[in-house]
A and B are shown apart, each in its own frame.
Chain A
Amino acid sequence: MDLTFSARQDAFRAEVRDWLAAHVPREPLPSMDTAEGFERHREWERRLADARLSAVSWPREYGGRGAGLLDWLVFEEEYWAAGAPGRVSQNGVFLLAPTLLAYGTDEQKRRHLPRMARADDVWAQAWSEPEAGSDLAALRATATPDGDGWRLNGQKTWSSRAVYAEWCFGLFRTDPESQRHRGLTYFMLPLDSEGVTVRPIAQLDGEHGFAEIFFDDVFVPADGVLGGVGQGWKVAMATTSSERGLTLRSPGRFMATADRLLELARASADQTLRDAAVRAWSDSRAYRLHTFRAAARLAEGVELGADSSLMKVFWSELDLRMHELALDLLGPAAPVAGRWLDGFLFALAGPIYAGTNEIQRNIIAERVLGLPR
């Protein structure tokens, strides 16, 4: 066991820290769920890209640095410790890109990744449907062959920032006779395609962070398919047991929140809240160490499998607990707009998105513990 970083990793950390110290905006950017905030976040992504810091783990030819998992974890620790802006391109960079790198053609990678790295194209996801939420395999949106391509019909929902984004990716049923996980295909298409209607949904906080997307005979050329026709479920899930299980939420984010929480707690005389703050710090440390352990296992060739479900429940509940605690520590100032309140509202969504925690607990019980379905 070695819990120290290499000299090269330390140098990379120093470079990232210096760059962030010089470039992170002093005032927080407006919410990325607003039109203005979205564009400000896009500009920030371009500055990151100019320094080759927007997608460090991608190959160099697509705008990354070819950084390994540990380097990425170092980057993330520095990024969140510096209080840098949220990542408006996260759906593309962290959800689509690993799949694109694994299953995309060279042409698809060349076409999409460099523009994604610079946030020239921001990607929205098109997974959930009104009748397919936790039960994603119940999805009904269809794609039917038409000449050289496909015609898409149906409705997707809970698509973050689709109102402002350029492209979307998601699963559509290409085999009308198919059931459940079979007969699905992974598509990528521009949101300004003819027949696409994006309708904003106001969130809890009043902003239009969500949208519904309606597809009315939308034509998508054949190269809009990622992976094989009918392989959509496999393609979408394939990377969840590898690094993606780790890269959905890095520990750096929670360590940074815990450190800010300790600052608040130091000023409090409430022993219950002080104890809760040190517990939150300890849990963040546990998540960090667990991630390093998972990284070591990946390096040894062990698949993570359902471990990403354990991690998802843990970090989403930790994040929410930390923000609830921050509001408790703020007392009468809790409802005042600011970083902690924004963070709390965002953290509330954590146990819901990326597979609800109820679904994750089922997965843990069935695949980790071996209880019957």
Chain B
Amino acid sequence: MRFSFTQDQRLLAEAVREVLEKTCPPEAVRSGPRPGPGWKALAEVGLLGAHVAEEHGGLGLTPLDTVLAFEETGRFAVPGPLAETVAVAPLVVPAGRHAEIAAGALTVTARSAGSPYLPDADLADLIAAGTLVAPHGEVALTRVRSVDATRPLFTDDLNADDSPAFDHAALATAAQLVGAGRRLLEEAVGYAQQRRQFGQVIGSFQAVKHKLADVAIALEFAAPLVYGAAYALAHDEPDASRDVSAAKLAANRAAHQAARAALQVHGAIGYTDELNLQIWLNRVWALRPAWGDDGVHRARLRAALLDEARPEGARR
């Protein structure tokens, strides 16, 4: 029993963090081109091909190896279909094209039968609807207005089935939510340390302290579920789907709590377009329903723990 990450796993996450600090500042996410230089940087550190086999030029890594790195990408709200390209594509795209994924030359977006929405389809070379994979040019895409302008959503005309990569994508998304939640907490703490009212910084008020302490608790206890699910998925454990659902639910909840608290602590200025805070707020609200909303994952947990029939539209 050793619940900790290896040096290599931590190093990958650190490398991702380092390159994103340089290439993916909030200003670039807000107003730069999508996916922007962060995407290219992630290809260079190997994350885009992390789940691609070494024989195809990838790193041949497992979800346990990349979960910390995904958390970092959430911290920076990197634009682009990252979970879809990294975690889904190697499981649904024919092996003949894996080398392109690893090289950062093939961007893939994906959905499962449970949701009609594709993220970032405008950037994708390939569209995966469950096991069905089609080139961008052969799919009728319609952009829908949605909460996160840096992660636009599209509908398609494909008849999707359940994605075999559903759990992998849900896990990567959960990790991103934890990262985004941590960033929101940092932003809120930073603001509470400098904003003064009644002659003192608002972070000295217990009402503010306790709200942020509760966010810290929620994130602190969501993360081990995410890491535990990564372990289960990497080891192909029979309970892996159950563990992924517990992780996604906890990450959804913690990230939303972080978003609400960060907005409240910032007050009216947080509700404006002037601050960068909106990047992570909107990303959290976009990722919560991605790869299984709360209802889907609760149903999977009930199926696993209370012997209910398994829900449709959510594989395994």
Contact = CB atoms under 8 A, between A and B. Distances in A.
A complexed with B: yes
Interface stretch (B95-103, B283-291, B302-310): B302-310
Interface stretch (B118-126, B167-175, B222-230): B222-230
Contacts of A266: 306-307
Contacts of B217: 310, 313-314, 364
B140 interface: no
Interface centre among A3, A266, A368 (most CB of B within 10 A): A3
A136 interface: no
Contacts of A277: 305-306
B214 interface: yes
A365 B265 CA distance: 14
B91 interface: no
A313 B5 CA distance: 26
A279 to B, nearest CB: 7
A369 B216 contact: yes
A177 to B, nearest CB: 30
Interface stretch (A53-61, A146-154, A226-234, A290-298): A290-298
Given A262-B306, A265-B306, A371-B192, A3 B216 contact: no
Nearest to A288: B224
A3 B189 contact: no
B305 A292 contact: no
Given A5-B1, A9-B1, A285-B228, A361 B213 contact: yes
B2 A2 contact: yes
A186 B251 CA distance: 43
B133 interface: no
Interface centre among B6, B213, B222, B302 (most CB of A within 10 A): B213
A336 to B, nearest CB: 24
B214 A279 contact: no
A94 B260 CA distance: 38
A278 B301 contact: yes
Interface centre among B185, B221, B227, B302 (most CB of A within 10 A): B221
Contact of A3 (B204, B208, B231): B231
Query: What DSSP secondary structure best describes chain A's contact surface?
Result: helix
Contacts of A366: 209
B246 interface: yes
A307 to B, nearest CB: 8
Contact of A361 (B210, B221, B227, B228): B210
Contact of A372 (B3, B203, B214, B250): B203
A3 B306 contact: no
B246 to A, nearest CB: 4
Interface string B1-45: 111111000000000000000000000000000000000000000
A372 B204 contact: yes
22 contacts: A1-B64, A3-B3, A262-B305, A265-B306, A266-B306, A278-B301, A282-B246, A286-B224, A286-B246, A290-B220, A292-B1, A292-B3, A307-B220, A310-B216, A310-B221, A313-B213, A361-B209, A362-B209, A364-B217, A369-B213, A371-B203, A371-B209
Report, nearest first, the 6 A-B pairs whose CB atoms are least far apart: A365-B209, A289-B224, A292-B3, A364-B213, A371-B203, A361-B213
Given A278-B298, A285-B246, A361-B213, 17 more contacts: A1-B2, A3-B3, A4-B1, A278-B305, A286-B246, A286-B250, A310-B217, A314-B221, A360-B213, A361-B206, A362-B206, A362-B213, A365-B213, A369-B189, A371-B189, A372-B201, A372-B204
